[in-house]
Structure 1
Amino acid sequence: MSNALALFFTALFSFAALILSCIACAGSTKNYYPLNHIYTSQVDLTKVSISDVISSSTVAEISFPGYINIGLWSYCIETANKSVTSCTSPKGIQNFNLKELLADNINDNSMLSTLDSASVLLPQSIQDKMPYFNDLIKCMFITILIGIVLSFLNTVVCIIRWIIHAKFVQVIGGMLSFFAFLALLISAGCCVSALVIISRILDKNDTYGIKLNFGQTYLGLVWGGVVAAFLNFITWCCVRSVRRPQVAYMSEPIEKKPLMY
């Protein structure tokens, strides 16, 4: 691969990792398409058993939204007809507290004032593992931000590398690309791990009727960012610090032999 081609793909993959990660990170921050359809996970409440979830004598008057779409910074409310109605203000969701999430989204406002998270009954296994879930979610949140910052810096270094042919620029670019890939990989891995564990616990306690769906668009974006960051690191390994000197080879002149008489 020529040096110019390697530099081109380095810049392309670095920029792709940056854009894909930024779009994933901005999911569910605004009630605008497509942001309102990008979420890490979706709490499915369409078949929730209110009598098992709420410890109240007025269960018949209580209702929940169809879905709660959880992003990295906020969450959106979606009806059973798959229509997003509202999104909360972005503030950074670094804790997964399903009890508070349900208590805050009871549709009947008059009942909301009399209930709190203590009125919501959920599997004890979720409550016991909540610190572990939150550690994974915090790690996912922090590492994707680190990956975005490193991808941005790497894109800047790619531009500088087109101008300055120096060894230290190549070393910095290679290090940034590696750590950007590592950060995005850890973020994606933590996301999948947390969602798998929570969804399995809810599936084992199906009497509550609560399901957790994976955010396929979010996972597609963040894993796309991981692949782009990995390809960026590979192409950085193909970049040379200096241009190879062009060596001109001249053929030796043919020695003329004296004619024999």
Structure 2
Amino acid sequence: MRNFFTLFFAALFSLAALILAIVACAGSTKNYSPINKIYCAELDLSQIHVSTVFPSLGSATLSTLGLPSYINIGLWSYCLEDSSHSIQSCSSPSGIQKFNLTGLLYDNIVDNEALKLIDSIADVVLPSKLQDKMKYYNDLVKCMFITIIIGIVLSFVNLVFSILRWIIHIRPLVWGGAFFSFLAFAALIISIGSCLGTYSYIKYILKHNYSDYGISLSIGRTYQGLMWGAVVGALLNFILWCSVRSRPNMIYANAPIEEKPLI
């Protein structure tokens, strides 16, 4: 009976981790609520200093360029917000969404006359610390993306092991369940750690250059909440698997008593 409840709650926590991670992973892929409000980080361009970031455009403004006030960056795609925080559109999912602030700015200028004055994305000026370590940031973004996918897959595998262990009482299933539950937990915590570390550092760089560029970044709270919930669910699942017995306890009340010879 103890094994039944242990496996039941292990499966429940594994399912919770699976659902939360899937919802977080799907953030900003479509322009409908609440998916469009789930993002890793949000770029605030509402106070951008156009003359500094786009020196060749002179006195152009945010509205004349057609740039959004905010860009919400997800794992697969990003969404554009206006000044009232209303989502206008979301890009199509296109694999790993690299953090390329230069490309985001250049790609979202809708004024053709302005684009003619900018020869290439090389004309977009941003903090040197941000530009010099772009490959390093994007390696961490890849890690974040890959590990959340691994965490989702392993959470599903672990859920299957929970169901099989209910039916079949063999030791390899217990070992497999504990092993995959640990890997799922490790993958999810690496993913959220990579996300938090990467965007926190980018936030720090932009904050210390805000007076020059007028661009800031904030961490997506909803995404963080979903992912930390998935991590806690995966951890509790692992702890429960560690207490699952290989076989149910059997008490033989009528077992024969060995008789010892009298000396």
TM-score, reference length from structure 1 = 0.92
Q: Deviations over 1:118-161 (max 9, x none)?
A: 22110001011112111111110110000001001111111111
Whole-angstrom distance in 2 between the partners of 1:174 and 1:118: 50
Say whether the 8 Å CA contact 1:71–1:93 is kept in structure 2.
no
SS at match of 2:55: coil
Whole-angstrom distance in 2 between the partners of 1:186 and 1:103: 31
Say whether the 8 Å CA contact 2:57–2:117 is kept in structure 1.
no
Matched, 1:167 2:181: no
Say whether the 8 Å CA contact 1:50–1:62 is kept in structure 2.
no
Alignment partner of 2:225 out of 205, 220, 225 = 220
Report runs of 4+ in structure 1 exceeding 4 Å deviation: none
Greater mean deviation of Cα atoms: 208-217 or 127-136: 127-136
Whole-angstrom distance in 1 between the partners of 2:183 and 2:93: 27
Task: Give the structure 2 partner of residue 185 of structure 1.
Answer: 189
Query: C-alpha displacement at 1:57, in angstroms?
Result: 3.6
Whole-angstrom distance in 2 between the partners of 1:6 and 1:109: 62
SS at match of 1:56: helix
Name the Cα RMSD after superposition: 1.6
Query: C-alpha displacement at 1:105, in angstroms?
Result: 1.1
Unaligned runs of 5+ in 2: 256-263
Task: Give the structure 2 partner of residue 11 of structure 1.
Answer: 11
Task: Give the structure 2 partner of residue 234 of structure 1.
Answer: 239
Unaligned runs of 5+ in 1: 251-261
Task: Give the structure 1 partner of residue 260 of structure 2.
Answer: none
Say whether the 8 Å CA contact 1:202–1:212 is kept in structure 2.
yes
Q: How many residues align?
A: 250
Say whether the 8 Å CA contact 1:150–1:177 is kept in structure 2.
yes
* Larger Rg belongs to: 1
Alignment partner of 1:90 out of 88, 93, 106 = 93
Say whether the 8 Å CA contact 1:177–1:229 is kept in structure 2.
yes
Whole-angstrom distance in 1 between the partners of 2:153 and 2:214: 40
Query: C-alpha displacement at 1:80, in angstroms?
Result: 1.1
Q: Tell me which amino acid in the other structure corresponds to 2:100.
A: N
Q: Tell me which amino acid in the other structure corresponds to 2:30.
A: K
Query: C-alpha displacement at 1:237, in angstroms?
Result: 0.7
Q: Deviations over 1:30-84 (max 9, x none)?
A: 0010000000000111111111110214542434211000000000001110100
Whole-angstrom distance in 1 between the partners of 2:117 and 2:253: 87
Say whether the 8 Å CA contact 1:65–1:107 is kept in structure 2.
no
Query: C-alpha displacement at 1:107, in angstroms?
Result: 3.8
Query: C-alpha displacement at 1:14, in angstroms?
Result: 0.5
